[in-house]
Structure 1
């Protein structure tokens, strides 16, 4: 019986890790969408100052999403 418990605990931890990765990937894509929206609004409103920072943040979020996808 102990062997079965060990195997089930391994499955559970794998599922939790997978769930966490999926959640992180979803959050990163939400942030990517938010930065893209802010860039569109900044352009439409003629705000040039925040564009550099928004693009930098967008790039970082895209890199993290790609890293999560590859690992």
Structure 2
């Protein structure tokens, strides 16, 4: 089943994570796409059951950037 809506969320100080997230989002080919940029401010996402979600953050030494995780802390989904 193809999702009708996709959420593209990223934290991307250099733009690389943004480009990757947007490329994956385009590949989903959903009817509606919501973009959430957590680079400068925290984001709030309220995805519903059946939505697709793509998250991209930089990884340093095998760990996601701590600031990125704090900015995405309010993300919630249904299932």
**TM-score scaled by length of structure 1:** 0.29
**TM-score scaled by length of structure 2:** 0.26
Structure number with greater Rg is 1
User: 1 or 2, which has the higher helix percentage?
Assistant: 1
User: 1 or 2, which has the higher strand percentage?
Assistant: 2
